[in-house]
Chain A
Amino acid sequence: MRKHLEWIWLPVGLILGLALGVGYAWVLQPADFRGAEPASLQPVYRGEYILLIATAYQANGNLDRARTRLELFPELDPAVLSSLAQQVVAARGSEDAARGLARLSVALAEQTPMPSFAFTVTSGIPPTARATPTENPTLALTVPPMPTATLKPTQFSTATTLPGYVLVSREQVCNPLITQPLVQVLVRTPGGKGVAGVVIRILWEGGGSTFVTGMKPELSPGYADYGIEPGKAYQITIGDGLTVVRDVSVPTCPGATAVAGGGTSAAFAGSWRLVFEMR
């Protein structure tokens, strides 16, 4: 019996040794660290890295390179990029980054099969497609404030030439399915192709904001919208700031237009659709 008990020291030694060995390998002498991948960055740096990918893409237009860089972040799909672009705009971050993200989102979405929603100028936006952009709960991206430039010699500054735009259509939209009055903007080329990444400024008395086309690539690469409130007058400026649409306010739609099924209903708040064409 006593002889049998002596063997207990072997597993005791094993457990002790395992603890020592694992502690040595994890704490004292970890496996050779030759650096980590960008996906392991702290959220603030990860956001900055992704914005840098977008600004680099905005600068060089190299989609293959941008895609390769984005593959380091498997959670990033076109919808998340769109959402991130909106976060950048909301945080008043770099316009180049927002444009780059929006353009990237559209470019990647064009290569990814996705459900298509017919967006036509004469029809209302399908309610399912008009949902607000999805927040991705798994993506803990922090949009960093753009770094404050402490070194900025003026001799290196170069003005960027932006394309001009012309307002080709301003239509009232009376669609009872659109419950939140909107300014819907569609920016297109003379050939009719939607243009992503165009920054639109909206101003009202006492406030202002910006939004970017391409946030909802499922509608059109050149589409963007912004919720407006009754009783306020808005001014929309696009691109280079030379194209301005003034006195945009929530229109009132007659109730009869709103009826589905033959009855009548009260007047309701409508939306505006502004179509711009690049010159």
Chain B
Amino acid sequence: MKRFVLLLAGTVIGVLAGAWYGWSVSPVTYNEISPDQLRAEYQADYVLMVAETYAADHDLGEAAVRLSRLGQADLTGLVRRIADAYQAAGFPEQDCTRLYDLARDLERFSTLPTAAR
């Protein structure tokens, strides 16, 4: 009986210590990730960089390819959501304008008849 109690006590203490170590001391780190696994703020900045680049080169195809790395099907919605969030957070007007411009052009393109693309 005493053996069982000792084994159980050791196991419980060990589980608690192991979980504490695995969660707090040395939590899992992620390497070799893809852009869709970036933290939300970096994904938003990624979209802003795409919008900044698009404002200069007007290459909608390249912007769409870059945005697709974030793994979202609705690119227009993604850009518009971030534009709204930036505007609500008081980001510079120029950034918001670029994001809205990109969202508008993506939407315009997505509504073109297939043959016109």
Interface on A for B, CB 8 Å cutoff? 6-7, 9-26, 30-31, 33-38, 40-42, 45, 48-49, 52-53, 55-56, 58-60, 69, 72, 96, 146-153, 156-158, 160
Query: Given A20-B14, A42-B33, A48-B69, is A26 in contact with B28 using a C-beta cutoff of 8 Å?
Result: yes
Of the candidates B21, B24, B35, B43, the one whose C-beta lies within 8 Å of that of A45 is B35
Query: Given A9-B6, A14-B11, A49-B35, is A22 in contact with B18 using a C-beta cutoff of 8 Å?
Result: yes
Query: Given A30-B27, A153-B60, is A69 in contact with B15 using a C-beta cutoff of 8 Å?
Result: no
> Is the CB–CB distance between A10 and B61 below 8 Å?
no
Cα A41 to Cα B117 in complex, Å, equals: 32
> Is the CB–CB distance between B16 and A41 below 8 Å?
no
For B64, the chain A residues whose CB sits under 8 A away are: 150-151
Of the candidates A21, A58, A59, A148, the one whose C-beta lies within 8 Å of that of B18 is A21
Which 8 A-B residue pairings sit nearest by Cβ, starting from the closest?
A: A17-B14, A21-B18, A13-B10, A25-B22, A149-B61, A35-B39, A59-B56, A147-B65
> Is the CB–CB distance between A16 and B35 below 8 Å?
no
For B15, the chain A residues whose CB sits under 8 A away are: 17-18, 20-21, 24
A-contact 0/1 string along B1-37, CB 8 Å cutoff: 0111011111111111111111110011111111101
Query: Given A6-B2, A13-B8, A42-B34, is A151 in contact with B117 using a C-beta cutoff of 8 Å?
Result: yes
For B30, the chain A residues whose CB sits under 8 A away are: 33, 36, 40
Of the candidates A19, A33, A149, A160, the one whose C-beta lies within 8 Å of that of B62 is A149
Query: Given A49-B46, A52-B66, A156-B60, is A17 in contact with B39 using a C-beta cutoff of 8 Å?
Result: no
Of the candidates B8, B24, B42, B46, the one whose C-beta lies within 8 Å of that of A37 is B42
> Is the CB–CB distance between B69 and A6 below 8 Å?
no
A-contact 0/1 string along B89-111, CB 8 Å cutoff: 00000000000000001000100
Of the candidates A16, A30, A49, A96, the one whose C-beta lies within 8 Å of that of B11 is A16
> Is the CB–CB distance between B33 and A148 below 8 Å?
no
29 contacts between A and B (CB under 8 A): A9-B4, A9-B6, A10-B9, A14-B17, A15-B14, A17-B12, A17-B14, A21-B14, A21-B18, A31-B23, A35-B40, A36-B37, A40-B30, A41-B32, A41-B35, A52-B49, A52-B50, A55-B49, A56-B53, A58-B56, A146-B62, A147-B62, A149-B59, A151-B60, A151-B117, A152-B60, A153-B116, A156-B105, A158-B58
